[in-house]
Structures are given as C-alpha cells and as structure tokens.
Amino acid sequence: MDGHLIRPQGASFAVRAARALARGLGGIARAGPIHQMRLKGRHPLKLLSSPDTPFEGSAGRGQLILEGKFFRAGQEVRAEPNEVWNIAEKATPDFFDWLHGFSWLEDLAALENEAAARTAAEDLVRSWAEIYHSYDRAAWRPDLAGVRVVNWTVYAPLILSSADLVYRSLVLNSLARQGRHLAIAWMRAPEGPARAKALLGLAASGALLPEGEARLAKALSALERLCRDFVLADGGPRSRSVAEIAEFVHCLVLLRVILEDRHEEVPAWLQLTLDKIIPFLKAMTHGDQSAARFGDFVVVRPYPAKQLQKYTRTRGGPISNATLTGYLRLQQGKSLLLLDVGTPPQGAVSAGAAASTLSIELSEASERLIVNGVCPPEFDEQTGEAAKAWLQRTEAHSTLVLGNRDSTTIQRSSRLGQGVNETRFERNENEDGIWVDAVHNGYRQKFGYKHHRRLFLNAEGTDLRGEDRLEPAPEGWRNIFGRRKPIAVAVYFQLHPDVTASLTQEGKVAILRLASNKGWMFKVRSGGIEIEDGVFFDGPGFGVKTSRIVVRAQTGPQGLVLNWSFKRIGSRE
C-alpha cells in the first residue's frame, strides 16, 4: 500500500485580509445596539422538553463545587456564586471556557444530594444570567454560547425546578436570547468542533424552545455541510486532531438525543458521519482507551468500546490506514504502533496543531510505552497554558529533530507555517510482520535534507526496529553549492510516566520497565543514549514527571543513518 500526501494551499493574503476585516466589522456590529435589538423577542414560558444526556459527571467534582471550589486544568478558584464570574475573567482560557460553558452541571447532577445540587446550580445560573444578560464578546462567543445552551436545556431539571417565577423567566429569556444570537453568529465560529458546538446550541434552541422550527432547520442544514467539509472520507478531520474529532462525535450524539427526545426525524447524514468517524477514532485509541496524542492538547474523554458503540450505534473495528488524514495503525500481537505520515493542516484549522510528522506512539495491551506531548522539566511548575505552545513543537514528539528546528514552523498565532508540504509512505505486510517506509520534506528548505523513517514490527509485536535516515535532497540549493556543514541531530522517544528507564552497557542500552513490571530493551547501533527528565501533559492541567530517550548525532557528508530497536525482554530472538 503506497501513499502520497500533499499539503493543501492556504488562502491568499487578500482572502485572509478580507476575512479578518469581516470578522472585525462583525464584532463591532454585534457589540452595537442593532445586535442587541435583534436579541429581543417573545419570552418563552417553558421548555418543550429536557432530554436525558447519555454522559455522566463526577460526584467528587460536584462536591467541590458545593464547597465553592472550582477546579479545572490545574487551576483552582474559590468563590461565592456571585463572585466567581469576576474571577473567571482573569483565569486561563480553558478555565474560562469550562466555567462559562456550564459543562460542570453534569458533576452537580451526579450528586446524591439533589436539593443542594439544585441550590448551587440555580445560584450560579442566576448570577450569570444577571451579569451577562446583554451580549458579551467573550462569554457569548458562538461555540461557548452553544455549549451553554445545550447544558442549560439538558440539565433543566437541575436549574429550572425552582418555584421562583422571576428566576425562571430570567433563565428562559436568557436561553431565548442566546438562541437568537446563535442564529446570527454561528458562522463566526472556526470550522470544526467550535462551529459544531455553536450549531448544536442553535439546534437545541430550535428543538426545545417554542417557535424554534426555523432555527432547527438552519442548524441541521449547516451541520450537514460542516460534516461533509470537515470530516474526510477515512473518518478523520481536516485538522488531523484526534481530540477534535472526538468532540465532533460528542456533538453528534447529543444532537441525536435532542432530536429523538422531540420525536424529530434524525437525518441520515448524522449516522453516516458517525459510521465514518468511529472506525477512525478506534484506530487512534490505545488499549487503555486513551487516544493518540499527535499534537492534541485537549484530553479525549475515554470511552470503552461497548460504551462508544452504545452512544454512536456504530459497529465495526478500527481501520488500519487513515491515508487521507495521514495516520497508520500497526497492530501485531499485544502491541500497537501508531505513526503520523500526514502533512500538517493548513490555514485556520492548523491553529494549535503540531509539527509532528513521522512521530510514533507505542503501547502493549493496556500500557503505553512511547507517547507524544512531553515538555522539558522546567514546565513542571507551569500550568497547561504555558506548555501549550511547546507541545506544538517537533521536539515534544517521538521523532527526529534536525538543527533544533521544527519540521514545520509554528507561527505566533499558533498556526503552522512553512515546512512539510509533502509526504510519501509505503506499507507492506507478510507472515513476518509489517514494514513501513515514510519520508517528509520538512527540512529540505532549511537544511537540504529529507527525513526517511523505516519501521518494522514483527508478527508477535515483540520487536520494533527503526531506521532514521537524513538523505540529501538533490534539488536543495545547499546540495548544489556543496555547503554541508555538520548539523546536530536528536531523535526523541517520549516515555509514558508509568515507564521507568535505566542505562546499561556504558550508555548503549536502555532498559524500560512498565507499571506491570514488563520490560523492553532499547538499543542503538551507533551513538550513545541519553535519558532526560521531562513533563508529560496528558491534558491542559499540570504535567506529570516522566523521562525521554534521546539519541544525539551529527550529519556527515552524505547525511546520516541511525538504527534503533525496541525489543520485549523475554521474547525469542
């Protein structure tokens, strides 16, 4: 099986400038009196329904909220209901979104003390509705408003059981105003999960509030187009983000719950989209139900296979080759190897993506061995927001870094710039195992080299052999003029925090122990092995101390060849 991927071209400067101007004018218009007038309308007297969500919260986190403790992503805020919103204005973006999105209502709903949970939820909803009655650029951001509308409607028994008619009218009127806002502003949300969340909120407003038929029809039509444009034929997203496609699934499942609750027809495209996505999502999931981390900063909520099948009503196993999205899955015995062979996303969907081309992840059964998403040890005292930019870098991934440069440049806007624009890969299988040969051109312009990575995983899954080769690019100007000075090379293998590593044989071999005490041996044919401290960010909270293997070398006149292997200790030669 051969593959050849070319990075799509981004929009021209003129198009980008026009879009920026439109966004700026749109923001001014929404902040003005005309938009405020458009939010006015009839006050609904009740919700038509409140569907049951299939997702469950944490009673432990709910108890903290009862105590006035709001903990998210390594940040804790202690405040009274009428004070927390002022504090949130100075919080990290992740904390701000979580608080204003009201996703924590699922945690209050998980409490056995329903009366206390209702009181806390009502106090927080009341204070928000009073403070943010009018449009606010941050709190009314389309995707955030969409999430909030869904959570208010789904958890209506928690926030609308009060006998206080003034309070009920305040909340219902706020829901209606946010629904009218989404009908106007949903297209301002970035393509992908953010837009899906905005449209999900619009659909919930249309289905669950009186006189919402037009809003529901608009939401369904726009969601169908979004699914067609954002989800590729292999089930992966144009952004190449596993976390984003998981968020997409979450939105589609909730949409179906809402439609079925109102006895509305569920469109065929919804299930067809899930039928595409789920095999891809399963392919990118390790045995411990954690999703692969190729640049993703947001943790994918783990769902066991049976639970995922129940929510999505999709059968079938994982695909082996997501060749359009650019990922390969090599499953042999109890071992799973995942490889990024794709070109980076382009334009707006690249915001937050990583320069991770040709990086790998390796797991055995339910234990992860090689991961991505590791920062230097100085990030140990930093919050996730400080690490977010670093995790886009090539060095945060298990792959080769040339000249301490990223294979694709990362711009200040967090979008990806120049670098890898073409990859080729070949996969072959027989009774001995699976071979993959892949190459990217990310270092051609900077240094005149192409990076080849060749991998072999044996049939038992006990022996992984790799070769990283830097080959002079014939078309490179440095090759034409013969200017080839030695360049520093580092090949990184990021270890999961549950893995301990120790060096033997004068730094030529590393012994790796998993939490189950299973062992793997890492070797390099030439050069030495270093073990460095690191911090693994499995999400936007505080990191966890871990280690990483580094093999260092320098390019020569003809480039460089580095051979390495991971072998299961106790397996046959």
pLDDT of residue 83: 86
Q: 3-state DSSP call for residue 155? A: coil
Other C-beta atoms lying within 10 Å of the C-beta of residue 316: 10
Q: Hey, what domains does the chain have and what are their CATH numbers? A: 326-568 (2.70.98.70)
- Among all chains, which residue has been given the structure tokens 């968020």? 247
C-alpha neighbours within 13 Å on the C-beta side of residue 473? 18
pLDDT of residue 23: 47
pLDDT of residue 213: 95
Higher pLDDT, 508 or 458: 458
- When pLDDT is cut at 50, 70 and 90, the band that residue 379 belongs to is confident
- When pLDDT is cut at 50, 70 and 90, the band that residue 480 belongs to is very low
- Among all chains, which residue has been given the structure tokens 């009673």? 59
- When pLDDT is cut at 50, 70 and 90, the band that residue 359 belongs to is very high
- When pLDDT is cut at 50, 70 and 90, the band that residue 541 belongs to is low
- Closest by alpha carbon to 238, among 348, 341, 321, 325? 325
pLDDT of residue 19: 44
The 3-class secondary structure across 469-527, one letter per residue, is EEEECCCCHHHHCCCCCCCEEEEEEEECCCCEEEEEHHHCEEEEECCCCCEEEEEECCC
pLDDT value at 301 more than 90: no
Report which DSSP code applies to 210. Answer: T
Total-model pTM: 0.90
Q: What contacts 531, CB < 8 A, 6 or more positions away? A: 501, 502, 503, 510, 547, 548, 549, 550
With b meaning 16 or more CB within 10 Å and e meaning fewer, what string describes 212-236? beebbebbbebbbebbeebbbebbb
For the segment 163-188, the average pLDDT, to the nearest whole number, is: 94
Q: 3-state DSSP call for residue 412? A: coil
pLDDT value at 467 more than 60: yes
Instruction: Indicate the residue type of 525.
Output: R
pLDDT of residue 555: 94
pLDDT value at 12 more than 90: no
What is the pLDDT of the chain when averaged over all its residues? Answer: 89
pLDDT per residue over 38-49, tens digit each?
Answer: 676 677 889 999
- When pLDDT is cut at 50, 70 and 90, the band that residue 571 belongs to is low
pLDDT of residue 7: 75
Q: Tell me if 528 sits within 8 A of 553, measured CB to CB.
A: no
pLDDT per residue over 255-292, tens digit each?
Answer: 999 999 999 999 999 999 999 999 999 999 999 988 99
Poorest-pLDDT segment among 21-35, 310-324, 526-540: 21-35
Say what angle helices 142-154 and 193-208 make with each other, to 10 degrees. Answer: 40
Q: What contacts 14, CB < 8 A, 6 or more positions away? A: none
Instruction: Indicate the residue type of 128.
Output: W
Poorest-pLDDT segment among 60-74, 79-93, 206-220: 79-93
pLDDT value at 159 more than 90: yes
pLDDT per residue over 135-147, tens digit each?
Answer: 899 999 999 999 9
- When pLDDT is cut at 50, 70 and 90, the band that residue 189 belongs to is very high
- When pLDDT is cut at 50, 70 and 90, the band that residue 381 belongs to is low
pLDDT value at 500 more than 60: yes
For the segment 8-29, the average pLDDT, to the nearest whole number, is: 50
Q: Quote the CA–CA distance of 471 and 343 in Å, as a whole number.
A: 19
- When pLDDT is cut at 50, 70 and 90, the band that residue 30 belongs to is low
345: its two tokens: 């996303």
For the segment 238-253, the average pLDDT, to the nearest whole number, is: 93
Residue 404's φ and ψ, nearest 5 degrees, are 55, 30
For the segment 211-230, the average pLDDT, to the nearest whole number, is: 96
The neighbouring-strand residues paired with 494 are 371, 548
